[in-house]
Amino acid sequence: MSNYQLKVENIIEEIKKIDAHTVGLQFPEGLKIYATLVARQIEDETGAEVIISGDPSFGACDVSDASMKDVVDLLVHFGHTPLHLEYEVPVLFVEAQFQLDVIPAIKEALNLLENYKIIGLVTTTQHLHILDEAAYFLEKEAKTIIMKEGQGTRKAQVLGCNFSAVEELPVDVFLYVGSGNFHPLGIKLSTNKTVIIADPYRNEARNIDQFADRILKIRFARITKAREAKKFGIIVSSKKGQLRMELAKNLKSMIHKEGKEAYIIFMDHVSPELLIPFMDLDAFLVTACPRIAIDDAQMYKKPLLTPEELLIVLDKKKWEDYKIDEIKYVNGNQ
């Protein structure tokens, strides 16, 4: 199935084992194109009825167990590792390993790693299976590799909202194996260390610094604009793994104490269109996925801030101590 290992045989085995009659399939956006293929194979080989989730799925934070609880006996969630959450229906997590040779990209990164000895190796779910091979390659190049588990994440794994696997790691530099800029940005902002990206999709390597500078300039502008805000909207997600209501209520009290207004807005998927009716609000705080305020900043007319950024707006924290927002679930608690 393209370059992804979806382990359909294991899924079929599990369905037969628990005698599931109705099976839900939930794919992240990039894997949804395989949905009907997987569904047909499961229906043909087990006789179970398959229900495909069409909702957006960006992480294990939005497993569709609640909406599917009366609909399926088993939910198969692809592409993410489980969080420490209680699910309302049995969930089988299938990591969807991406089959791609990462060594060429790491070779490209060697130049950028020249002056560093101790490397923190980091990646995301779909590449976790390449860590040993990558470490072996780098050790042959006389590097020392350090990796650790995070709070609720695997060894060397970061999520868009959880960088605990890189925190306080005694390394000279981080090597992030994967695509995109958000995760390496988070690593940099969590650790203040140099982060090199080895991108196995493009077989190229780069430093995150330029991107981080650009993002920080945007954040500074948003924070400056939000200092003028008199009315805040505080967005809370109903997605189980993003639901930080207590935090939202604390932020609301904090804003009230400054003599400003604040309103809690509870919603599933956050989008620019859905905030348009709240036209009297001057700025929004996003307690949902930390990526919304950062990655999607340009899509919104009003400033969207993370809870960390509000502290800077209200002069409770210095700009120099800027941190990325994180949601760390450990045993069901943030």
Question: Interface residues with a copy of itself (CB under 8 A)?
Answer: 24, 29, 32-33, 35-36, 39-40, 49-56, 64, 66-68, 71, 231, 235-236, 238, 245, 249, 261, 263-270, 274-275, 277-281
Start-to-end CA distance of the chain, whole Å, equals 36
Choose between 129 and 269: whose C-beta lies nearer to a copy of itself: 269
Pick from 34, 30, 89, 32: which is nearest to 64 by CA? 89
Q: Alpha carbon of 205 to those of 32, 71, 190: distances in Å?
A: 28, 45, 21
The packing angle between helices 35-46 and 8-18, to 10°, is 40
- Whether 121 and 137 have beta carbons less than 8 Å apart is answered as no
Shortest Cβ 312–a copy of itself spacing (Å):
24
Q: What is the DSSP letter of 79?
A: S
Among 61, 81, 85, 63, smallest CA distance to 241 is for: 61
Shortest approach of a copy of itself to residue 138 CB, angstroms?
Answer: 36
By beta-carbon proximity to a copy of itself, the closer residue of 18 and 33 is 33
* Residues, the chain: 334
Instruction: Provide the minimum distance between the beta carbon of 324 and a copy of itself in the complex, in angstroms, as a whole number.
Output: 24
Q: How far is the CB of 212 from a copy of itself (least distance, A)?
A: 29
Q: Name which of 170 and 277 has its Cβ closer to a copy of itself.
A: 277
Q: Specify the residue, 69 or 227, whose C-beta has the smaller distance to a copy of itself.
A: 69
Q: Least separation, in Å, of the C-beta of 287 and a copy of itself? A: 12
Closest approach of Cβ 248 to a copy of itself, in Å? 9
Closest separation in Å from C-beta 333 to a copy of itself? 15
Q: Smaller CB distance to a copy of itself: residue 203 or 238?
A: 238
Residue 252: alpha-carbon gap to chain centroid: 25
| Closer Cβ to a copy of itself, 8 or 267, answer by number | 267
326 conformational bin, left if phi > 0, alpha if psi -120 to 50, beta if neither: beta
Where would I find the beta strands (DSSP E) of 108-254? 118-123, 144-146, 173-177, 195-199, 204-207, 231-237
8 A C-beta contact, residue 90 and residue 73: yes
Nearer to a copy of itself, 53 or 191 (CB): 53
Backbone angles phi, psi at 38, to 5 degrees: -65, -40
Closer residue to a copy of itself (CB): 167 or 295: 295
Q: Are 235 and 244 in contact (CB under 8 A)?
A: no
Please count the CA atoms within 13 angstroms of the CA of 90 that sit on its side-chain side: 14
Q: How far is the CB of 79 from a copy of itself (least distance, A)?
A: 13
Backbone angles phi, psi at 171, to 5 degrees: -125, 165
> DSSP for 105-136?
HHHHHTTTTTT--EEEEEE-GGGGGGHHHHHH
User: Closest separation between CB of residue 13 and a copy of itself, Å?
Assistant: 22
Q: Which is nearer to a copy of itself, 29 or 132 (CB)?
A: 29
